[in-house]
Amino acid sequence: MTSEIVIIGGGVIGLAIAIELKLRGTNVTVLCRDFQAAATHAAAGMLAPDAENITNEAMLSLCWRSRALYPDWTRKLEELTGLNTGYRPCGILAPVFAEAGGQGAGGRGEVSPSASNFSPAYWLNKEAIHQYQPGLGAEVVGGWWYPEDAQVDNKALAHVLRTAAESIGVELKDGITVEGFLQQQGQVVGVQTNAGIIRAAHYVLASGAWSNELLPLPVVPRKGQMLSVRIPEFAPDLPLKRVLFGQNIYIVPRCDRLVIGATSEDVGFTPNNTPDGIQKLLQAAIRLYPQLKHYPIQEFWWGFRPATPDELPILGTTHCQNLTFATGHYRNGILLTPVTASLIADLILEQKPDPLLADFHYSRFQSQPSTSTPMLTHSANFSNGHHTAISPLPIQDSPLIIAGKTFQSRLMTGTGKYRSIEEMQQSVIASDCQIVTVAVRRVQTKAPGHEGLAEALDWTKIWMLPNTAGCQTAEEAIRVARLGREMAKLLGQEDNNFVKLEVIPDLKYLLPDPIGTLQAAEQLVKEGFAVLPYINADPMLAKRLEEVGCATVMPLASPIGSGQGLKTTANIQIIIENAGIPVVVDAGIGSPSEAAQAMELGADVLLINSAIALSPNPAAMARAMNLATVAGRLAYLAGRMPIKDYASPSSPLTGTITS
């Protein structure tokens, strides 16, 4: 099927964007795996940028803007559906206990009315707060009153959004699991799902805590447990009139019940409520509002918030021209729904990026290059064994981009075959490489030279490329690739979905299996991997691998570890001429002159391991390979002089002295 815009994710963010786009005249399809699993259903519905004490200025501005949209936005939804969202501009009360330090604790304090963005906060002393809200715990010594904060019934809002989307003609497809993006030359050309390939002109990733399963985004699930208690019949109408925002606890009054939340647990997608989680919530809630200990428990539930390292959302453009991100909203998904819908619709339909979006772009998580020197201005002279700086060269090169990630160095190295960990460390540093490939199986089995690999390199500066070396079938390679992704996460590279795919059943010549490689690549791409397949220099296979969505192709120059140099030049040239993705010349390079020659052909990257590791002086050879890579790339960009069949003097003949 084909749609104008496909939105991946059917929570409130995805539905709100769909409604906004549809009302502006586009055809929209929403793909939803499980509507009930969305973080929406596990929220409390607080619209509380002030009570949350948000310190990031851009985030606070975004939250204030969204809160201001809520009255008109919910009114429009209610008019479309005839249903109530439960929006209430009730204000939020943030009580403070004695140990928090009294006035000034737990809130921003009053904001000067002369400020351009002004949201007031009022301090209430002990007498005032207990009078304002009877029934608070005796330990409460004061608190902050945030009159502009509000609440909405999150479950009612989700129902209203879904009903509104259906009523205006948004196509909602339930039970659809997106398995991967099909990408070609900086464009998404479809999404692979359990129901087949779905295509669109534009795509929006709004799948919350599950976003990392599709693309290497640092979005992780943060589990939150919650419960509700029923207000008994003997209690007055609604004894708690206001939202209470305490220390690590909040209590939200809703008609005949109180909603209590929420834990924040870094336990992956571990489901279910736990006694420990519920006990902590009840203890904190009873301390804040003691009389609820007599109220009957009504319900327990849990959900997964999409958290990022800085707890800010990921919004805006991506590495693909027709893919937009709207994910990672963490604790503020409900609050930020209307502004997200508006900003994303403006961005897609009018190409009008709001200046505020720059603060939430995914690129803020990309690691910086390991060297401060651009690839084409590296030192090329030596003096007493040290590098000597040279002036920048007059040719500028574009950075290397693999699966949306930018690198400056065009040399990759490996970790195998070294005589010691120390030689490997020295060689990696000398090579100035930013990508190092690691054999997952050798790390697992603690093969010689791989025992201390995790600690041997600085993985904050080096991007790990797990490889499936030793795998003889597609099935083995897929399994090992999954282990490699987990290994990268353990090293702190949460968003690393790269894999160097090797399927090699031939133990004598170590030639890759083209059929098994293609089969494994297709599956791994569906699972969201950035696949870098090692192949024979076969132009047809290279093109087929590009079509299934691989991030690069890696043709061999000659058999692995042979040092024979470039034996497949003609085929590599054909692959380079026809490729829309980076071409990595891998295997067989034995000397720097051969490395330079491969780069002069137009290769984007080299992967060199044996020639460095087996040299009598690996660190010096690593530096030589770096310089050869730079020289070859520069020569390719500069262009070679024409080859002639006759001599041509290098000095002009005019103006010479004659007798």
Instruction: Write out the catalytic residue numbers.
Output: 500
CA distance 571 to 550: 19
Terminal Cα-to-Cα distance of the chain (whole angstroms): 85
Question: What 3-state DSSP class applies to 375?
Answer: helix
Q: CB neighbours of 401 closer than 8 A, spacing ≥ 6?
A: 319, 407, 582
Question: What 3-state DSSP class applies to 32?
Answer: strand
What is the number of other CB atoms lying within 10 angstroms of the CB of residue 492?
A: 10
The 8-class DSSP code of residue 556 comes to B
Amino acid at site 478: I
CA distance 621 to 529: 32
Phi–psi pair at 122, nearest 5 degrees: -125, 135
Question: How wide is the angle at C-alpha 528 spanned by C-alphas 523 and 531, nearest 5°?
Answer: 70
Q: For residue 458, what are its two tokens?
A: 């600085």
Q: For residue 309, what are its two tokens?
A: 């390292």
Amino acid at site 188: V
| Alpha helices (H) in 275-331, listed in sequence order | 275-288
Contact 291, 239 (CB under 8 A): yes
Q: For residue 399, what are its two tokens?
A: 């950075």
C-alpha distances (whole Å) from 275 to each of 129, 225, 227, 241, 265 are 32, 10, 12, 29, 14
**512-539 per-residue burial string, b: 16 or more CB within 10 A, e: under 16:** bbbebbbbbbbbbbbbbbbbbbbbbbbb
What is the number of other CB atoms lying within 10 angstroms of the CB of residue 78?
A: 15
Contact 446, 639 (CB under 8 A): no
CA distance 499 to 6: 28
Q: For residue 160, what are its two tokens?
A: 């209203």
CA distance 219 to 211: 7
The 8-class DSSP code of residue 551 comes to S
Element spanning 77, H or E: helix 57-81
- SS3 of 417-445: the string is CCCCHHHHHHHHHHHCCCEEEEEHHHHHC
The β-bridge relationship of strands 411-414 and 435-439 is parallel
CA distance 50 to 91: 10
